[in-house]
Amino acid sequence: MKPYQEVISKDNSRLREFKVDIDDDELKWHRDEKDRYVTILEGEGWQFQRDNELPLALQKGDVIFIKQETYHRIIKGSTDLIINIKE
């Protein structure tokens, strides 16, 4: 089971929602098969972390580029997180 709910739009972008009550253990380090641009639409207190780097605070409007096969994770914040992903 995925730690988020997802809707795929007609342009193949993905809208994902991570609920604030998610268990921290579900937000695991992982790699993606393709390059991705992630836009933060909503969420307070969430962080993004690449392997061997310090976490970055996520703010509404931020766009993060994630190169394929790069280990990364998100760290839970204080409200629901909604992101848009384009590959």
The stretch 51-74 carries a mean pLDDT of: 98
CA distance 50 to 33: 15
pLDDT tens for each residue of 1-42? 789 999 999 898 999 999 999 999 999 999 999 999 999 999
CA distance 62 to 78: 17
3-state helix, strand, coil in the chain (%, to 5): 5, 45, 55
Under the banding of pLDDT at 50, 70 and 90, the label for residue 85 is: very high
Q: What is the pLDDT of residue 1?
A: 79
CATH class, 5-86 region? mainly beta
Q: What is the pLDDT of residue 79?
A: 98
Contact 3, 18 (CB under 8 A): yes
Q: What is the pLDDT of residue 77?
A: 97
